[in-house]
C-alpha cells in the first residue's frame, strides 16, 4: 500500500476472555490504524480526499476491535470493499475507513434441494469468486461476471446484470451486528433484497458483512434471456445451442465479459463507478404518459418492493439520457457520460468530486424537466 505521507499509530487495548490461554493470546490486540490516508487510490473513480483514520481488517475479531474503537471514540465509520460504487468527497471522510480484507472460500458438498453451498469471505474479489465457481462447475453467478468490487459488497447492493441478481443465489449472510457486537447469520429472505437494495442499505451501518453463503446448482442450466446475451449468441450462430440449451456457464461468462468490455469503459483509463444512477421505477400511468411523447421508450414490468398492487415499470435511464436528453458521450471539463453507455459517468484524471456532483445534478434536472422522473444515484456518496 502506498499511503504516501500518512502516519501510522498503533492502538492497544485489552480483550477480556474467560479462557486463560485466550487471555494470553489475545490480551494485547494490535490494530494498525493509519491516519490521513488518501482514498482516491482505493476507489475506481480515483477521486476523493483523505480518510481521517484507516484500518485494514483481515478477520472477524479485527473487525470487532475497530468498530469498538470507532464507537468508543464516537467516530463515524465506513466499510470499503473494492471502492467501485462510491464517490468520495474532495474533503475526504472525517471518521474511520475500514478496508475489508476478510478472505477465504469453502464448498460444503451437502446438497440442499440439488444445490451446493459455497461460502466466501467479504474481502474476496467478486470476479475472482465468480471465476472460481464457474471453474468448479457451478452455475448461477456467470451472468454477474466482471463486476468490479468485493463479495461483501454484492449483497449490500444486490448487484445485478444480464438477467441475474445476486440475491437469487444467497442462502445467508454472516454479518457483525454493530448494535449488539455479535456476529449473526441472516437468511437470504431476511436480507430483503430488491433492485439495488437490501437490509444492509435500509439499516445503513448496522450490519457489516463478514462472509456470504451462496446456493449454486451443478445442472449446467444457463440464463441467456437478456437481450444483449441473446444477440451475442445469435451473432455467433449459436441459435441451435440456445434452443437446445447447450450453452455452458463458462460460455456465458465469456459472453458477459465480452459484452461488458465493449460497452463499459476501461477502468484503467477512466475514473468511473459504472452506472451512476439507478434505473427508475415509475407507475404504469406515468410510463404511458411519457411514451406518448417518446414512443421508443422501453419499459419492463417491475414487482413492487413495498407490497403495493400498483403496476410499476422499470425504465432504462441510459435510453432516456441518450435519446431524450441527448447527453451520451458529452464531456464537461473532466467529467462526462461514456460514449457507449450514457448511464455510466466517466472522469478524467484530475477531475474532482465537486465536478462529478455538479455534472450529475445537472443530468438529474434534465431528466426531471423532460420526463417528470426524479432519479436517484446508485453510487454511494462518502463524506
List residues binding ligand EPU (CB under 6 A).
Answer: 161-162, 228, 274-275, 278-279, 298, 316, 318-319, 322-323, 328, 341-343, 378
Catalytic residue among 62, 124, 165, 378: 378
Least distance (Å) between residue 366 CB and ligand EPU: 14
Asked about 275 being catalytic, the answer comes back as yes
Distance CA 348, CA 336 (A): 9
Q: What is the phi/psi pair of residue 65, to 5°? A: -60, -45
Least distance (Å) between residue 349 CB and ligand EPU: 21
Of the two residues 49 and 83, which places its CB atom closer to ligand EPU in the complex?
83
Q: Among candidates 283, 279, 294, 291, which has minimal Cα distance to 326? A: 294
Q: Among candidates 112, 109, 124, 116, which has minimal Cα distance to 140? A: 116
Of the two residues 157 and 211, which places its CB atom closer to ligand EPU in the complex?
157
Least distance (Å) between residue 62 CB and ligand EPU: 29
Of the two residues 121 and 274, which places its CB atom closer to ligand EPU in the complex?
274
Least distance (Å) between residue 183 CB and ligand EPU: 29
Asked about 196 being catalytic, the answer comes back as yes
Of the two residues 28 and 300, which places its CB atom closer to ligand EPU in the complex?
300
**320, HSE (Cβ side, Cα atoms, 13 Å):** 26
CB-based contacts of 39: which residues, under 8 Å, 6+ apart?
A: 48, 49, 50, 51, 80, 83, 88, 92, 93, 97, 382
Catalytic residue among 145, 198, 211, 275: 275
Catalytic residue among 101, 196, 198, 355: 196
Of the two residues 38 and 163, which places its CB atom closer to ligand EPU in the complex?
163
Determine how β-strand 93-100 pairs with β-strand 50-57: parallel
Coil vs helix vs strand at 228: helix
Least distance (Å) between residue 212 CB and ligand EPU: 18
Burial class (CB in 10 A: 0-12, 13-18, 19+), 249: buried
Enumerate the active-site residues: 196, 275, 378
Amino acid at each position: 500500500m502506498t499511503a504516501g505521507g500518512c502516519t501510522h499509530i498503533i492502538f492497544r487495548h485489552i480483550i477480556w476472555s474467560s479462557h486463560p490461554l485466550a487471555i494470553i493470546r489475545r490480551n494485547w490486540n494490535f490494530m494498525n490504524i493509519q491516519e490521513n490516508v488518501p482514498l482516491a487510490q482505493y476507489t475506481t473513480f480515483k477521486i476523493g480526499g483523505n480518510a481521517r483514520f484507516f484500518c485494514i481488517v483481515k478477520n472477524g475479531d479485527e473487525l470487532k476491535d475497530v468498530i469498538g474503537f470507532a464507537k468508543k471514540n464516537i467516530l463515524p465509520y465506513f466499510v470499503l470493499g473494492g471502492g467501485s460504487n462510491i464517490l468520495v468527497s474532495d474533503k475526504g471522510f472525517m471518521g474511520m475507513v475500514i478496508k475489508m480484507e476478510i478472505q477465504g472460500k469453502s464448498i460444503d458438498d451437502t446438497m440442499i434441494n440439488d444445490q451446493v453451498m459455497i461460502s466466501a469471505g467479504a474481502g474476496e474479489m467478486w470476479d475472482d469468486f465468480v471465476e472460481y465457481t464457474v471453474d468448479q462447475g457451478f452455475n448461477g453467478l456467470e451472468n454477474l461476471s466482471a463486476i468490479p468490487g468485493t463479495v461483501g459488497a454484492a449483497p449490500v447492493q444486490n448487484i445485478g446484470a444480464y438477467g441475474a441478481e445476486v440475491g437469487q443465489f444467497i442462502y445467508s449472510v454472516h454479518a457483525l451486528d454493530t448494535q449488539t457486537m455479535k456476529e449473526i447469520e441472516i437468511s437470504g429472505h431476511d436480507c430483503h433484497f430488491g433492485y439495488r437494495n437490501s437490509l444492509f442499505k435500509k439499516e445503513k451501518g448496522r450490519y457489516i458483512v463478514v462472509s456470504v453463503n451462496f446456493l449454486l446448482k451443478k445442472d449446467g442450466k444457463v440464463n441467456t434471456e437478456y437481450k444483449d446475451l441473446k444477440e451475442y449468441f445469435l451473432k455467433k450462430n449459436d441459435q441451435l445451442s440456445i434452443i437446445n440449451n447447450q450453452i455452458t456457464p463458462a460460455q456465458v461468462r465469456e459472453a458477459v465479459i465480452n459484452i461488458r468490455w465493449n460497452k463499459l469503459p476501461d477502468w484503467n483509463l477512466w475514473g468511473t463507478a459504472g452506472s451512476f444512477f439507478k434505473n427508475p421505477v415509475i407507475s404504469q400511468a406515468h410510463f404511458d404518459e411519457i411514451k406518448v411523447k417518446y414512443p421508443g421508450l422501453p419499459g419492463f414490468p417491475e414487482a413492487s418492493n413495498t407490497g403495493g398492487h400498483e403496476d410499476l415499470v422499470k425504465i432504462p435511464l441510459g435510453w432516456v439520457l441518450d435519446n431524450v436528453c441527448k447527453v451520451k458521450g458529452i464531456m464537461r471539463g473532466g467529467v462526462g457520460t461514456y460514449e457507449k453507455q450514457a448511464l455510466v459517468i466517466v472522469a478524467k484524471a484530475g477531475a474532482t468530486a465537486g465536478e462529478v456532483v455538479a455534472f450529475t445534478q445537472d443530468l438529474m434536472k434534465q431528466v426531471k424537466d423532460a420526463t417528470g422522473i426524479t432519479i436517484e444515484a446508485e453510487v454511494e456518496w462518502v463524506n
